[in-house]
Chain A
Amino acid sequence: MHDKTLTELATALAAGEFSSRELTESLLARIQRFDGELNSFITVTGDEALAAADAADSTRARGEAGPLNGLPLALKDIFCTQGVRTSCGSRMLDNFVSPYNATLVEKLATAGTVCLGKTNMDEFAMGSSNENSYYGPVKNPWDLSAVPGGSSGGSAAAVAASLVPAALGTDTGGSVRQPAAFCGITGLKPTYGRVSRYGMVAYASSLDQAGPMARTAEDCALLLGAIAGHDPRDSTSVARGVPNYRAELDASLSGLKIGLPKEYFGDGLDPAVATAVREAIAVYESLGASVREVSLPHTELAIPAYYVIAPAEASSNLSRFDGVRFGHRCENPTDLIDLYKRSRAEGFGEEVKRRILIGTHTLSEGFFDAYYKKAQQVRRLIRQDFLDAFEEVDVLMGPAAPTPAFDLGANKDPVSMYLQDIYTIAINLAGIPGISVPAGFANDRPIGLQVLGPHFAEQHLLNVAHQFQQVTDWHRCRPAFAGENA
């Protein structure tokens, strides 16, 4: 049963083929068996999961089951879960048992889903390889010497290894789409404001957005419907109706206008990735879509702008971790400054400190205009590139990442690591939705096709991705690791 998609599991549960408890027990056993090597979970919540599964089975017995009732999933360890450690991949929060639930967690619980545990991640969502976790790196189930991508690497790896049929991630600069691409699953970053950020530990508030990660676009549609919507506790969440994201999945793509940003096919793109993406686009042409080249002229400025805005917001967002009310506190502080400085130096890892230092520096007196204000101006230009492109075409397509998953330890240099996010970061700056869809392999490592749409075009993106998955099998491929013969 672990190889079924979320949608298939929903059907099987409804048909009584097995209970949610049986499904949960089977997946917990797989986690037990395989995750020691994969390291995709930080915390497995077996007892809570079984209790939730039993509750879901009772709900179903009463005839009150909704579409997600009894479905197992995992949560990136960035979402606050009441009574369960919420570590954010950091020593700082290693001892933090959240006293409240994130809105997204509440919504999923109300829908009757069963949370199997909290998945590994780059510390405070800062990273593209999942090597920046206090709990150690996650391995890519397709190749244990490769990274799963980041920062939602644990969620991606757990789904790819069929430890769980779906997981929730967050995406600040590509952290859902890039690991989805590296692990051969489907991952959606919704429009900024579509999903509540309340209870999601903030990295960069104006960029962060939670999204579903699953095998198929159809599964992502099912999950997005459960988590999207206005939250009175989040000022930036949008008061806008939630459509039925599954309603348009089967719509024809005939007449679809696809734009290929020429900047997404330039130097630095691995030829194997380019080939896979072009083949995927040919599939769309066969489905009746037309393709034209477009330009997003400010593309190369996205990473520079991001590495001003995101660290600036992060430096401020992470100031609350001061060893006073929660989180790590150093031993025997001599005075207040010592308490702050040592608690924070001990609690945060290297990449987090690096970004806090960058953000603190660029916001400080004398630098603000040259960095922060400038980056925000460039951010407007970048958004305008997309708005202009969507005047001409319905969706944009390109690679989700310039290469397939790279080897663990291969990218030691922060700048070259940052450049990995060249195709995903601008999307967060513009606030538009994007989805990564499995589209082939290079050296047995998955490749992701990225599809982008205008603000609030999730329904259309899911339709475009789903139609691709009706005529291709990339999303059905499973790694040998943790497979039937493992």
Chain B
Amino acid sequence: MALEHEDVRRAAHLARLSLNDDEAAHYADDIRRILEMVDRLQAVDTQGVAPLAHPLDSTQRLRADEVTEGDERERFQRCAPAVEDGLYLVPRVVE
């Protein structure tokens, strides 16, 4: 599957990474070659093979519905870039 320059720009936008044209071209070149390597997968017959998401065949454990965490806002917000009145601040979100 050929990778277009536009695919990289689109991925960069979805992933919220700013890229200039040179960077986009550079990544497109790398990623094209990586995907060529990955394309070896296409030659394998996987008909009827169930996808494997986790290496062990275990199932989800369930947690009892109990409140175990208290208010640690002060501590957690010490590493925040911008807070006011306990809120995280971001540039204005327009709905």
Interface size on B, residues (CB 8 A): 52
The answer to whether A357 and B81 touch across the interface, beta carbons within 8 angstroms, is no
Query: How far is B41's CA from A331's CA once the two chains are assembled, in angstroms?
Result: 43
- Known A95-B79, A329-B82, A361-B11; judge A344-B41 contact (CB<8 A): no
Residues in B with CB closer than 8 Å to A361 are 3, 7-8, 10-11, 31, 35
For window 255-310 of chain A, which residues contact chain B by CB distance below 8 Å?
298, 300-301, 303-305, 307-308
Q: How far is the CB of A160 from chain B (nearest CB, A)?
A: 30
- Known A303-B37, A358-B34; judge A206-B55 contact (CB<8 A): yes
The answer to whether B30 and A414 touch across the interface, beta carbons within 8 angstroms, is yes
Binary per-residue interface labels of chain A (376-397) against chain B in the complex, 1 for a CB within 8 Å, 0 otherwise: 1111110100000000000000
Closest to B72 in A: A99
Binary per-residue interface labels of chain A (173-217) against chain B in the complex, 1 for a CB within 8 Å, 0 otherwise: 000000000000000000111000000000000110000000000
Residues in A with CB closer than 8 Å to B72 are 99
Binary per-residue interface labels of chain B (16-54) against chain A in the complex, 1 for a CB within 8 Å, 0 otherwise: 111100000001001101110111111010100111111
Query: How far is B8's CA from A337's CA once the two chains are assembled, in angstroms?
Result: 17
Residues in A with CB closer than 8 Å to B56 are 191-193, 236, 238, 431, 455
Residues in A with CB closer than 8 Å to B38 are 304, 307-308, 362, 371, 375
- Known A315-B15, A326-B79; judge A370-B53 contact (CB<8 A): no
Interface presence of B93 (CB below 8 A) = yes
Instruction: Pick the most buried of A360, A362, A418: most chain B CB atoms within 10 A of its CB.
Output: A360
Query: How far is B60's CA from A334's CA once the two chains are assembled, in angstroms?
Result: 43
Closest to B79 in A: A326
For window 341-374 of chain A, which residues contact chain B by CB distance below 8 Å?
341-342, 344-345, 348, 353-354, 356-358, 360-362, 364, 367, 370-371, 373-374
Q: How far is the CB of A73 from chain B (nearest CB, A)?
A: 25
Residues in B with CB closer than 8 Å to A335 are 91-92
Interface presence of B1 (CB below 8 A) = yes
Query: How far is B50's CA from A377's CA once the two chains are assembled, in angstroms?
Result: 6
For window 401-419 of chain A, which residues contact chain B by CB distance below 8 Å?
414-415, 418
Chain A interface residues toward B at CB < 8 A: 95-99, 191-193, 206-207, 232, 235-236, 238-239, 298, 300-301, 303-305, 307-308, 315, 319, 322-327, 329, 333-342, 344-345, 348, 353-354, 356-358, 360-362, 364, 367, 370-371, 373-381, 383, 414-415, 418, 428-432, 455
Chain B interface residues toward A at CB < 8 A: 1, 3, 7-8, 10-12, 14-19, 27, 30-31, 33-35, 37-42, 44, 46, 49-56, 58, 60-61, 63, 72, 75-76, 78-82, 88, 90-93
Which A-B residue pairs are the 5 nearest by beta carbons?
A431-B55, A376-B51, A377-B46, A341-B18, A340-B16
